[in-house]
Amino acid sequence: MESEGTHKMSSQSETLFKKTLLVMEWLEKWGYVTAGVSFLALGMIVFTRGWFMFFAGLSQGVLRPAMGLMVDLLLVIIFMELFRTLLEFLKTNALTIEPFLYIGIVAAIRRILTITPHEALASVSPEEFTRYLWDISVHGLMVIGLVISLFIYRKRVSV
């Protein structure tokens, strides 16, 4: 009699456990959906702000506003790539490394473009200039390494 009660209790626990897992999987999926919508919204906000700042800054010349717009658009590309990666994950339930390599490449290029050479050379100490050169060099090497990784990944996947 005791084993029958234990078996019934175990069956109820198992059913509760399965229901809990289903709820957790549903919450996980909606977490990804809300993160994706957030990336999309942030991308649209940065895009709008970038163009607004571009047109607002044209009275001071075109170079600085164009550089600012380019940096903002690269950030939008990062957001869109994250959004697309989440969409693909929700469709297939699988992640690939390729989108993250793209994101890394764009992020490193964006960092290089964030500090223009003109700003780096304008009355900075030798230590700051050396730090700038190291920063540019490291990010340049990151771009090269990520591009090589992307090339190897694509070659391996296509074989």
pLDDT in tens, 78-108: 999 999 999 999 999 888 899 999 999 999 9
Measured CA to CA, the distance from residue 95 to residue 84 in angstroms comes to 11
Percent of the chain with pLDDT over 70: 90
The answer, yes or no, to whether residue 45 has pLDDT greater than 70, is yes
115 within 8 A of 135, measured Cβ to Cβ: yes
| CA separation, residue 148 to residues 83, 101, 102, 143, 144 (Å) | 24, 10, 12, 9, 6
Give, for 67, the enclosing helix (H) or strand (E). Answer: helix 63-92
pLDDT higher than 60, residue 16: yes
Handedness of CA 7, 8, 14, 18 (dihedral sign): positive
Domain ranges (residues) in the chain: 2-158
Terminal Cα-to-Cα distance of the chain (whole angstroms): 62
- Give, as one character, the DSSP assignment of residue 123: S
Phi-psi region of 116 (alpha: psi -120 to 50; beta: other; left: phi over 0): beta
With residue 38 as reference, give the H or E element that holds it.
Answer: helix 2-57
Q: What is the DSSP letter of 97?
A: S
